[in-house]
């Protein structure tokens, strides 16, 4: 599903050209990593300047920035 979405984004000129499987792995790894940290309560007590929802938004922004057509 993610690969198909990235293919559509590439076709629309929103995402840089490249192997969508690699791009999908980049995005999936970031989201999976943050999800795992949250589920395992690894984010608590870290004195982070953002709450969980804000961290997820920031991660999404960084993933898009990394994939965006420049």
3: burial class by Cβ within 10 Å (0-12, 13-18, 19+)? middle
pLDDT, tens digit, 9 for 90 and up, residues 7-59: 999 999 999 999 999 999 999 999 999 999 999 998 888 888 888 889 999 99
Domain that holds residue 26: 2-67
Q: Count of domains in the chain?
A: 1
pTM recorded for the entire structure: 0.79
The three-state secondary structure class of 44 is coil
Among candidate residues 61, 62, 43, 42, the one with its CA nearest the CA of residue 52: 43
């Amino acid at each position: 599903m993610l690969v198909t979405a990235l293919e559509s984004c590439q076709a629309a000129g929103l995402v840089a050209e490249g192997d969508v499987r690699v791009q999908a792995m980049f995005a999936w790894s970031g989201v999976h990593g943050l999800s795992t940290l949250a589920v395992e309560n690894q984010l608590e007590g870290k004195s982070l300047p953002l709450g969980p929802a804000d961290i997820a938004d920031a991660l999404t922004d960084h993933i898009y920035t990394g994939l965006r057509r420049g």
